[in-house]
Amino acid sequence: MITESQIISLVVAFVLGLLIGLLIKKVIQIGLIILAIIVILIAIGTLSPSTVIHGLESLGVYADQAKSFVEKEVSILPYNSIAFIIGLIIGLIKG
In a domain, 4, yes or no: no
Q: What is the mean pLDDT of residues 33-60?
A: 90
| Cβ–Cβ under 8 Å, residues 56 and 62 | no
> Rounded to whole angstroms, how far apart are CA atoms 28 and 43?
22
- % of the chain exceeding 70 in pLDDT: 100
Residue 40 lies in a domain: yes
Smallest CA-to-CA distance from 77 within 4, 21, 37 is with 21
Beta strands in the chain (DSSP E): none
Is residue 39, in this structure, part of any structural domain at all?
Answer: yes
Q: What domain range includes position 37?
A: 12-94
Candidates 95, 27, 10, 22; CA nearest to 66 is: 27
pLDDT band at residue 35, thresholds of 50, 70 and 90?
A: very high
Res 79 pLDDT > 80 = no
- Which 3 state secondary structure label does DSSP give 81? coil
Specify if 71 maps to a domain.
yes
Domain membership flag for residue 42: yes
pLDDT at residue 59, as a whole number = 85
Position 3 in a domain = no
Tally of structural domains, the chain: 1
pTM for this prediction: 0.77
Res 28: pLDDT: 94
| Domain-embedded: residue 7 | no
Average the pLDDT over 62-86 and give the result. 84
pLDDT at 24: 92
In a domain, residue 32? The reply is yes
